Structure 1
Amino acid sequence: MKPRLSLKQHIALAYILLAVTLAGVFGLVSYISVGIVEEQIIDVRLAKMADGLISSVQQDQLPNAPADVRFLRDANIPQALRQLPVGIHELTLANRHVHAVLREHGGSRYAVVQEVDELAHTELIILLSLASGFAVSVLLAVVLGMLSARRLIAPVVALADAVQRNAGSTELPSLNAHDEIGVLARAFAKRTDELQQFLQREQMFTGDVSHELRTPLTVMLGAAEVLTAQLADQPAQYATAERIRRVAGETAQRVSALLLLARAAETLDAPRTVLNVIIEAEMERYRPLLQGKTVECRLEWREQVTAHVRPELAGIIIGNLLRNACQHTEQGSITVQLGAGWLVVEDSGTGIPQRVRERLFERFVHEGHWPAHEGSGLGLSIVKRVADHIGWDVRLETVPGGGTRFVLSFPALPTTQTS
C-alpha cells in the first residue's frame, strides 16, 4: 500500500502546485502576448507599408522603403517567394528569418520583405526569461512551502509530542491559542483529564475493595486454621476444614494481587521469581476440578525458569489459564510446557468457538459454551490486564484437531539446568 503524505508534505505540495499553476498561466499569457505583439508590430506594419509602396509605384513615384525593408517587384522577387500565395508569410530566406507580404496589383506581383532575426532573438530571450521565471517560481515555492509547512506544523508536532509522552493536561502547548490548534489542544486536555480521573477512580475502587476484603478474609483464615486444628482427629471434617483454610488463604493472596494492580506498573517491585513453583502450586490448587474426569494433567520442563515478577501477579495469570483448562476439558490431557521466556497451557477440550476468539480477552466474554461452566466472563480479561500490567504477552493459538492452547511470553532470565 502506497504510504500517505504527511501534513507537512501536503502543505508544501499545495505551495508547489499553486506556483506551477500561476507561473504556467502567466507564461502562457505572456507567450500569447508575444505572438500578438509580433503580429501587430511586424505583420500589420508590413501590410500597411506594402499598400503604401504599391500606391507610390502606381502613381509613378519612387517608393521610399525603410532601410531594413526590401521592396521587390516581379522578376526581382526570389523564387521561394514567387511560389507563395498572396498574403503575409513567415519563412527563412537565404539563411535569414524574414516576414514577407505578397501583393498582386495591375498585373504585377509585389513583395515587401523584412528581416526579423533580431526580433526572433529578442523573442527567444523573452521565452527563455519566462522559462527561467517559471523554474525560479517553482523552486521558490518549494523553499517557501517547506519553511511555511514547518512553521505551520510546529504547533501540531509539539502537541503530538506532548500527548505521546503523556504530558499532563496543563502541560499541553497551545492551550491559550485562539486558532484550530488551540481548539485541538483544549480537546486533548479535556480528554486527558477525563481519562486520568477515570483511571484514578478505578485504581481507588480496586484498592478500596481489596483493602476492605482483607479483614474478613483474615478472620475467615484464622477461623479455618482453628477449625482445622480442632478437627485433626476427624478425617472427613478435617478435609473440609482444610479446604476452607486453603481457599481462604488463596483468596487472600488474590486480594493482595488486586492491590498490586491498583498501583502504577512502574512503582511495583519485581523480584526474581521461580515460575516452576508457582505452576506446581496452581496445578495442585485446581486438581479437584478434574475429579471424576479421565483427564491427565502434566507439567513438562527441563530447567528452572525465573522471571522478574511479583508471585501474586504471576499466580493470577497462570491460575486462570489452568482453571479454564480444567473446567473445559472432559477427557484427554492438559499439558503445561515451560521454557525460558515462554509458557504454554494446552488442553484437548472442544476448543473455543470462532465467534468468541475475536473478543476472547474482553470482559464478560465467556471462554466456553458449556452452561455448567459459565462464569462471570472475567477470567481471561483479568489475565490480559495483568499481563499488560507487568509487560507480558498472552495469545491464543489454533490447535490442529481441536483443543485450546494459550501461549505466554515474558522477558527471559538465565536458566538453571536440572539434573
Structure 2
Amino acid sequence: MSEASPDATPDQAEQTTSRRRPVGSALDAAHRVIHPWTARASLALRVALLTTAAVAAVLGVASAVLYVTVRAELQDALDDELLKRAEAAVSAGYNPGAMDEDDADLLSAFGIRFIAVEGGQVFTRRADADFPYDRREIAVSIGEAQTSRRTTTIDDEPYRVVAVQAGPGQALVLAQSMESTQRSLERLQLVLILTSMAGVLMAGLAGWVVAANGLRPVRRLTAATERVARTNELRPIEVTGHDELARLTTSFNQMLLALEASQTRQRQLVADAGHELRTPLTSLRTNIELLGQASENPERSLTAEQRGEIMADVRAQLQELTTLVGDLVELARDEPMNRAPEELDLADVVAQAVERVRPRAQSLTLDVEIEGWTVTGEPPLLERAVTNLLDNAVKWGPDHSTVTVRLTGGVLTVTDEGPGISEEDLPHVFDRFYRAQEARTLPGSGLGLSIVRRAAERHGGSVTATCPPSGGTEFRMEIPGTAAAVGG
C-alpha cells in the first residue's frame, strides 16, 4: 500500500511522503532557485542570453549533423575503396588458396591486412593470429551475403574490414587502418568546436547590441514614467522611427496628454466650484451673523417680518447650495453606466419630469406629446436630465407662453418661446459653469445643461441646442432604443 501506516514512526512517515512526492516539486524548487537571478537580470541581458542559447543550440545541432555526415561519407569512401581492391584482387586470381606470404607482405606494405576464409575456416599466410574475424566474413564465404563491412580494433588501432566472395566457399577479407580518417575527423571536430564557440560569442555580442539599442525607447519610456511619478510633469517624449516601439511611444504620449487634460479639467472644476460656492456661503454667513447679532443685542432686534425674510433667504441659499453640491457630485463621477442598468420607457421618465416641473410653471402652458420608447439606462439620471431641460425652458419662457415637449422616435424636443441664445453663447451652453451674460443675475449654477449632456453621452446619445427662426430655443436629446409596444 502507498499510504503510510498509522503506527509508522515520524521518520518512516517522512520517507513515505518523500517517495510519494511528485517530480514537479523538484522542478518547482529548481525554478525558485533560478528565478531570483533571472528576475534581477535586465531585459537586454535576458534577450542576449536567449539569443546566445538559441544560436548555441542551432550550431550544436548543425555541427553534430555535419560531423556525422562527414564521418559516414569518409567511411563509405574507405569501404568502396577496399571493396574495389578486394574485387580487383579476386578478379586477378588472388584467391585464398593461391595467395602466399609474399602477397601478404605486399598488401601489408600498403597498410592492408587480409585473411582468407575457405570452407568456413579462417587462415592466413602470415602469423596474424591476432587478426579478429567475425561471423559476417564466414557468412560471405558460404554465400549467405555478397559482401560485408565493419569496424574493428587491431593493435589498439581502428581498422575498417570488408569481405568479398572469392569463389565457392571462399572469401577474401581486407582490413585497412582508419588512422588518416580519424585524424581528419579529429581536425573537423576541432574546427566545428572552435567555429561554434566563435559563433556563440558573436551571437551573444550581437544579441546584446541589438537588445540594448532596440530597448532604448523602452528605457526612455521607463525614464519618462519615473519622471512623471517623481515630478508630476506630463511632458511628452520624442518619437523616433515607425516601428512598434514608436507606436508605443505615441500611445504613451497620448496617454500623457489625456491625463494632462483630465487634470486641467479637474483643476478647472475645483476652481469653478469654489467660485460658485462662494456666493451662497457668503450670503448664508451674512444672514446667520445678522441673526446672531440680533439675538445677542436687544437694541438690534428684528421684527417678525424681517426675521421671516432672512429665514426665507437662508432656506433659498441652502436649497441652491444643496443643488450645486449635488450637481458637482454628479459631474465629478467618471465611472461608466451602472453594471446592471434597467430597461425602461423613456415616455414614463418624461411624464414624471413634467409632473415635477409643472408646479414651477404655473404661468406657462406645457404642451406635451410623447410616444413610447424603450431604452436601457439609469432612470434617476435620465429623469434629472429631462427635468433640467424643462426647468431651463420654464426659467426662460415668458409668462403665458408655451413650452412644447415632444418625444418621437427616441428624440426628445423641448422648445420655449424665450429670447433665445446668442450665436456666441450657443457653442458653450453645455459647458460646466458656463452662464450667458443675461443669466448671471438669475438663480442657477451653470451645471444643469452639463448634466444633460453627460446623461445623454452615458446612454450612448447626444444633445444639441438650436435657435429656430420663429424665436426661442429648441433642445433635442436623442437616446438610442426601440419603439415601445402599444397595448397590453
Give the TM-score, by structure 1 length: 0.50
Give the TM-score, by structure 2 length: 0.43
